[in-house]
């Protein structure tokens, strides 16, 4: 009987320590709540990008990443991830990206508000950006 009481007490102490310290084992290692601007999805990059996608990545980083996040992973409270099934080619074709850049987009899938037209991108820039987004989508299982 004494063994069971000692085991129960040890288990209670260990459980209390786990609850107090969390799974990281330290009070300093606690999960932080997501904040505005944090990435919305984890994105895996392909091992290599085609030359067009490399140019598209540079254009994306220069113009689009401010809202759509690094690697098109979105920014919480700012703009959606493009590496998402909503933007797969069968739902948003490549021309929808050009139309969005040229005309802007009224909010319809997400609650971020309307996207304004984007100045400074040529149709060729958008073709390269789409190549980049599509290659990263494929690397993340979005066909």
CATH of the domain at 95: 1.10.760.10
Answer whether residue 8 shows pLDDT above 50. no
Task: Tally the domains of the chain.
Answer: 2
Residue 40 counted as domain residue:
no
Q: What pLDDT, on a 0 to 100 scale, did the predictor assign at position 33?
A: 85
Domain of 2, in residue numbers: 1-31
Average pLDDT, the chain: 85
Stretch (H or E) spanning 124: helix 123-139
Residue 39 counted as domain residue:
no
82 and 114 in a single domain? The answer is: yes
26 and 57 in a single domain? The answer is: no
Residue 104 counted as domain residue:
yes
Residue 94 counted as domain residue:
yes
Cβ count within 10 A of residue 2: 6
Answer whether residue 27 shows pLDDT above 60. no
25 and 65 in a single domain? The answer is: no
Residue 1 counted as domain residue:
yes
pLDDT band of 34, cuts 50, 70, 90: confident
Q: Out of 9-13, 36-40, 94-98, 127-131, which region has the weakest mean confidence (pLDDT)?
A: 9-13
Name, in order, each residue with C-beta under 8 angstroms of 84's C-beta and a sequence gap of 6 or more: 41, 74, 142
CA atoms within 13 A on the CB side of 77: 5
């Amino acid at each position: 009987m004494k063994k069971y009481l000692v085991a129960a007490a040890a288990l209670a102490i260990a459980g209390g320590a786990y609850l107090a310290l969390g799974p990281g084992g330290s009070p300093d290692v606690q999960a932080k709540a997501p904040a505005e601007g944090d990435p919305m999805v984890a994105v895996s990059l392909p091992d290599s990008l085609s030359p067009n996608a490399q140019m598209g990545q540079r254009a994306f980083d220069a113009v689009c990443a401010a809202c759509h996040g690094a690697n098109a992973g979105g920014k919480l409270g700012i703009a959606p991830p493009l590496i998402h099934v909503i933007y797969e080619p069968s739902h948003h074709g490549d021309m929808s990206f050009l139309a969005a850049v040229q005309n802007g987009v009224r909010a319809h899938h997400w609650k971020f508000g309307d996207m304004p037209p984007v100045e400074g991108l040529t149709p060729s820039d958008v073709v390269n950006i789409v190549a980049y987004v599509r290659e990263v989508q494929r690397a993340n299982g979005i066909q």
